Amino acid sequence: MAFNQQVFLRPTEKSTNETVLVDTSAQISGKSQQTGHTDHNYGKPPLIKMYKKYSGSVVFSHLKAYTQCPLPLHSTEIKKEPTAVECKFIQQVSEQNNGLTVSSHQLSEQTHDLAASSQQVSEQTHDLAASSQQVSEQTHDLAASSQQVSEQTHDLAAFSQQVSEQTHDLAASSQQVSEQTHDLAASSQQVSEQTHGLAASSQQVSEQTHGLAASKKSTNETVLVDTSTQISGESQQTVHTDHNYGKPYIKIYKKYSGSVVFSHFKAYTQCLLPLHSTEIKKEPTAVEYKFIQQVSEQNNGLAASSQQVSEQSHGLATSSQQVSEQTHDLAASSQQVSEQTHGLATSSQQVSEQTHDLAASSQQVSEQSYGLAASSQQVSEQNNGLTRLQTAIHKTANVRCLREAQKPYACLFCERAFRSRQALSAHRVTKHPEKTMLFPKRAPIPCPDCTDIQLTSQRDLVLHLAKEHNKEMCVMSRKFNSENEFKMWKSRVERETFSKFISRNVAREDFEMRKYYYCHRSGKRIVLTDRVGLRKPKKQGSCKTNAKCTAYMIARTDLKDKTVDVEYCLNHLGHDFDLAHLQISADVRKSVARQLSEGVDPDDIIEAIRNSSSKVSRDSFLTLKDIHNISKRFNIPMPTTEEKSVYTCRICNSQFKSRNGLKLHQSKKHKGMSSSSRVTNKTATDVINVDLDEPIMVAQVEASTAEDVSEDCGTGQCEFDHMGNVDGHGLQKDTADPSDMIDQLKKRTLDKLNTFRDVVAKSNDISFLENFYKIVTDVDSFAFGPKQAEG
C-alpha cells in the first residue's frame, strides 16, 4: 500500500470493529468505514474529512471538526496499521477532543444564550430609543407650542401696555377737561352771581324809578337832582361820591317829554347803597343816558359770554362723558387682555411644566437606554470573553497554526484574522454559526421543472435540463482572436436571435479576465420601494420574466495575447423573442445622432435606417419618437417645422412641397433606393470608423442605381434637368448616351467596391464577409458580366 501525504484513520465502528489507516488513493470498498483526512499542505491544523461507505457507494459527508492532535502526522512515519499503543494514544486524543468539543459546545450554548439576551437587550434598547425619540419629538412639539404661547403672551403684554398708556393719556385728558370744566363752571357761577347782582340792582333801580314815577305823578314835575349838585335844564350824568362809605356810585336817569322814565338798569354797578328818592330831583341827562346805554350793552355782552361759557361747559361735559366712556371701555379691554395674558401665562406655565416632565421622562428613558446599552455592552463583553476563552482553549489545545504571512481578513466576532476572505467565511461558519444568519445566503438556481433540484451554476442548469428533461439545449465554446471579434460575433448572435446578452459581473485575475453575460430578460423586475406607483409600467410590460433564463455567455479574455474563449448557451427558456423588449443598437444611435448633427431630416434618417437593415430587428422599427429620444440624449436639436417646409430628394436634389410628393417621386424615379445622402458621400475612412454594415448598404444602393439607370436609360425615358444633368444619376448631359452612362456607373461602382474591399478586409466576421461578397458578386455581375464576377 503506497502512502502519500494523506493519512486516513479508521475509528472503531460497529460494522467493522476495527480502526485502520488507509490511503486516499486506495480503492474504498467493502464494509462501511470512516476515515480521517489530514492535510498538511498549508500548515493548518489537521483536518478530518469523514467518509462513509454504504452498500458499495462512497458518500462524502460534511467537514466535521479539527482534530486536537498535538503531534504532527507525517505520511512517512506511518507505514502500516497502528499499534495498540498508537490506537490508545489516538483514543486518548479523541477523548480529549471530545471533551474539548463538549466544552466548546457548552461555551457555544452559553454564547448563544448570551447572544439571545443581548438580542433582547438590544430590542429593549431599540424600543426605549424609539420611546425616547417619541418623547423628544413631543418635547420638541411642546417647546414649539410654548414658544408660540410665549410669543402670543408677549404680544398681548405689549398690546396691554399700549392700552394702558392710551388709558393713562385719556385719563389725563379727562382730568384736564374736568379742570377746565370746573374753571368754566366757577366762571359761570361768578357771571351768574354778577348777573344776579345786576338783576337785583336793576330791580332796585326799577323800584326806585317806579317810586319816582309815582312821586312825579303825584307832584306833576319830574326832576333829577343830585344830592350834592343842582341839575337842571339838560340830561346829565353825575358821579356821586358818598363820603359816608368812600365809594362812588352812578345814578342814571332819562327824561322824555317832560316825564322821567326809568330805563332798564342792566349795567353792573358798584353801588352798595340804595338810592334814596330824596336824592333824585330831576330826569337823567344825555350823558347819563349814554352811560346807561353802555352799561346795557356791557350787560348784553356778559349775557352772551355767559351763554357761550355755558355751551362750552356743556360741550366739555359731553366730551368728559365720552372720555369717561372710552376710558371705561379701555379699562375693560385692558382687563380682558390682562385676563388673556394671565391665561396664556398659565398655559405657558403648564406647557413648560409638561416640557419639563417630558424632558425628565426623556432623561429617564435615555438613562434606561444607556443602562440597557451598558448591559448590552456587558453582555457583548461577556460574549467576547467567552469567544476569547474559546480561542484560548483552541490555542492551548494547539489547534491553531499561525502563519507568518499577513492576514488582512479579520473576524468581526473574535480576534482571529485570515489571509483570504474564503478562509474567514469558513471560520465564521464553523466558529460563529449563530452569526451566519446575519449574512445573506446565495440563492441556488432552482430547476423550473423539478421541485427539489437546485443547481449551482448556469452550466449545470443547462446540462440538467438537457439530460433530465430532454430540453434541446447545449453548452458550447468558441475562441476568438480578439475582443472586438468576440463583440462582433455577440452582436450578430443577438441580432439573429432577437436577444441581448448583458454583462453583470467581471472577475479580473493577473492574466485573465472573465466576463459573465446573461440574457437581458432573465431575472426579476425590481422597483425601488420609494418609487412604487410613481410610474405606470411599460405598455409591453417589463423585459424581465421573473425567471432564470438558461442563455448565458462566459468570456475569458487572456490578458497576454488578448484572445477570448467563450463558453455559451444560446437556448433561451421561459420567454419569447419580442422585439419590443429590445433596445435600439448603439451603432444606430450613434448614426442617428451624427445625421441629426448634420441636419438630416428625421424622416430620411428613419427611412435610411429601415432600408439599411436587411433583416428584421429592433432598428427596423425606428420611430420618430426614438429620434426625439436620441436628440434629447445627445443634446442635438431636431429640425423645426419651418426647416422642413421643402422636401428635397437626396438622390436627385429635386424639391417638393410635401412629403407625399417626394415619396411619389422616389417611388417612380428611384425605386428600391435609399434616399440618405450619407450613402453616396461617405469615404472609406468614414465607413471604417462608423459602421461596417454600411458598405453593404452602399453597394446595394449603387447596384440598385445601376439597375435603375440601365432600365430607364435603356428605354430612353431618362429625364434631363435644366443644368444638363441626368436627373438622379449626376451624369453630364453631353455624356448622357445610355451606353456611356452605364459605363460611368460601372466605373463608379467598381471604385466603390475597391474602397469597401479595404474596409471589409479589416473585418473578421464570417457572416458579414459572406454577405458582403455576395453583394459584390451581384454588383460585379451587373457591371462586368457573370464571367468577371469575383468571389
Partner DNA sequence: CTGGACCCTAGACCGGGTCT
Partner DNA sequence: AGACCCGGTCTAGGGTCCAG
| In the complex, least distance from residue 38 CB atom to DNA, rounded to whole angstroms | 16
The yes or no reply on residue 497 touching DNA (CB under 7 A) is no
Residue from 134, 398, 420, 767 binding DNA (CB under 7 A): 420
| In the complex, least distance from residue 36 CB atom to DNA, rounded to whole angstroms | 17
| In the complex, least distance from residue 405 CB atom to DNA, rounded to whole angstroms | 7
Cα 34 off chain centre by: 62
In our burial notation (b when 16+ CB lie closer than 10 A, e otherwise), range 556-578 reads bbeeeeebbbbbbbbbbbebeee
Give the residue with the Cβ less far from DNA, 534 or 761. 534
Which three cell numbers mark 588?
444606430
- Residues numbered 133 to 152 that lie near DNA (CB under 7 A) are none
Residue from 265, 418, 568, 756 binding DNA (CB under 7 A): 418
- Residues numbered 617 to 636 that lie near DNA (CB under 7 A) are 624-626, 628-630, 632-634
The yes or no reply on residue 761 touching DNA (CB under 7 A) is no
| In the complex, least distance from residue 34 CB atom to DNA, rounded to whole angstroms | 18
| In the complex, least distance from residue 576 CB atom to DNA, rounded to whole angstroms | 15
The yes or no reply on residue 542 touching DNA (CB under 7 A) is yes
3-class SS letters over 210-230: HHHHHHHHHHCCCECCCCCCC
- CA atoms of 303 and 296, how far apart (whole Å): 11
Give the residue with the Cβ less far from DNA, 483 or 707. 483
The yes or no reply on residue 658 touching DNA (CB under 7 A) is no
Binding mask 30-69 for DNA (x = CB under 7 A): ------------x---------------------------
The residue with cell 376710558 is: 327
Residue from 14, 79, 80, 539 binding DNA (CB under 7 A): 539
- CA atoms of 286 and 288, how far apart (whole Å): 5
Q: Calculate the alpha carbon distances from 321 to 168, 308, 457 in Å.
A: 16, 19, 104
The yes or no reply on residue 668 touching DNA (CB under 7 A) is no
| In the complex, least distance from residue 568 CB atom to DNA, rounded to whole angstroms | 11
Residue from 106, 540, 660, 685 binding DNA (CB under 7 A): 540
Give yes or no for a contact between 610 and 622, defined as CB atoms under 8 angstroms apart. Answer: yes
Applying CB under 7 A, the site for DNA has a residue count of: 69
Which three cell numbers mark 514?
472573465
Beta strands 454-455 and 476-480 are unpaired
The yes or no reply on residue 492 touching DNA (CB under 7 A) is no
Give yes or no for a contact between 380 and 395, defined as CB atoms under 8 angstroms apart. Answer: no
Give the largest CA-CA distance in the chain.
197
The yes or no reply on residue 441 touching DNA (CB under 7 A) is yes
The yes or no reply on residue 554 touching DNA (CB under 7 A) is yes
The yes or no reply on residue 79 touching DNA (CB under 7 A) is no
- CA atoms of 577 and 545, how far apart (whole Å): 12
Give the residue with the Cβ less far from DNA, 40 or 589. 589
Stretch that binds DNA, among 338-346, 373-381, 540-548, 698-706 (CB under 7 A): 540-548
Helix (H) or strand (E) holding 312: helix 286-396
- CA atoms of 370 and 443, how far apart (whole Å): 39
DSSP state string for 349-379 = HHHHHHHHHHHHHHHHHHHHHHHHHHHHHHH
The yes or no reply on residue 247 touching DNA (CB under 7 A) is no
Give the residue with the Cβ less far from DNA, 281 or 521. 521
The yes or no reply on residue 660 touching DNA (CB under 7 A) is no
| In the complex, least distance from residue 539 CB atom to DNA, rounded to whole angstroms | 5
Stretch that binds DNA, among 202-210, 355-363, 532-540, 651-659 (CB under 7 A): 532-540
Give yes or no for a contact between 78 and 71, defined as CB atoms under 8 angstroms apart. Answer: no
The yes or no reply on residue 437 touching DNA (CB under 7 A) is no
Give the residue with the Cβ less far from DNA, 346 or 546. 546
- CA atoms of 474 and 383, how far apart (whole Å): 52
3-class SS letters over 481-497: CCHHHHHHHHHHHHHHH
| In the complex, least distance from residue 643 CB atom to DNA, rounded to whole angstroms | 9
- CA atoms of 283 and 276, how far apart (whole Å): 15
Give the residue with the Cβ less far from DNA, 369 or 585. 585
- Residues numbered 501 to 530 that lie near DNA (CB under 7 A) are 502-507, 509, 514-516, 518, 520, 525-528
SS3 66: strand
| In the complex, least distance from residue 688 CB atom to DNA, rounded to whole angstroms | 22
Give the residue with the Cβ less far from DNA, 428 or 464. 428
- CA atoms of 650 and 677, how far apart (whole Å): 5
Give the residue with the Cβ less far from DNA, 346 or 503. 503
Give the residue with the Cβ less far from DNA, 304 or 405. 405
- CA atoms of 149 and 340, how far apart (whole Å): 11
Q: Calculate the alpha carbon distances from 358 to 354, 375, 618 in Å.
A: 6, 25, 66
Give the residue with the Cβ less far from DNA, 240 or 492. 492
Residue from 149, 543, 600, 779 binding DNA (CB under 7 A): 543
Give the residue with the Cβ less far from DNA, 490 or 746. 490
Q: What are phi and psi of 301, to 5 degrees?
A: -60, -40
Stretch that binds DNA, among 67-75, 184-192, 363-371, 541-549 (CB under 7 A): 541-549
Residue from 2, 59, 304, 405 binding DNA (CB under 7 A): 405
Residue from 14, 80, 536, 787 binding DNA (CB under 7 A): 536
The yes or no reply on residue 645 touching DNA (CB under 7 A) is no
The yes or no reply on residue 490 touching DNA (CB under 7 A) is no
Identify which of 253, 292, 248, 298 has the alpha carbon closest to the alpha carbon of residue 273. Answer: 248
Strand partners, 713: none
The yes or no reply on residue 24 touching DNA (CB under 7 A) is no
- Residues numbered 345 to 374 that lie near DNA (CB under 7 A) are none
The yes or no reply on residue 659 touching DNA (CB under 7 A) is no
Which three cell numbers mark 607?
427611412
Give the residue with the Cβ less far from DNA, 4 or 12. 4
The yes or no reply on residue 560 touching DNA (CB under 7 A) is no
Q: Calculate the alpha carbon distances from 200 to 185, 240, 253, 266, 280 in Å.
A: 22, 20, 18, 10, 20
The yes or no reply on residue 537 touching DNA (CB under 7 A) is yes
- Residues numbered 588 to 617 that lie near DNA (CB under 7 A) are 589
Give yes or no for a contact between 22 and 14, defined as CB atoms under 8 angstroms apart. Answer: no
3-class SS letters over 670-700: CCCCCCCHHHHHCCHHHHHHHCCCHHHHHHH
3-class SS letters over 712-762: HHHCCCCCECCCCEECCCCCEHHHCCHHHHHHHHHHHHHHHHHHHHHHHHC
Give the residue with the Cβ less far from DNA, 584 or 696. 584
Stretch that binds DNA, among 221-229, 531-539, 557-565, 729-737 (CB under 7 A): 531-539
Give the residue with the Cβ less far from DNA, 79 or 625. 625
Binding residues (CB under 7 A) for DNA: these are: 42, 405, 418-423, 425-426, 428-429, 436, 439-443, 445, 456-459, 500, 502-507, 509, 514-516, 518, 520, 525-528, 531, 534-540, 542-544, 554, 580, 583-584, 589, 624-626, 628-630, 632-634, 637-638, 640-641
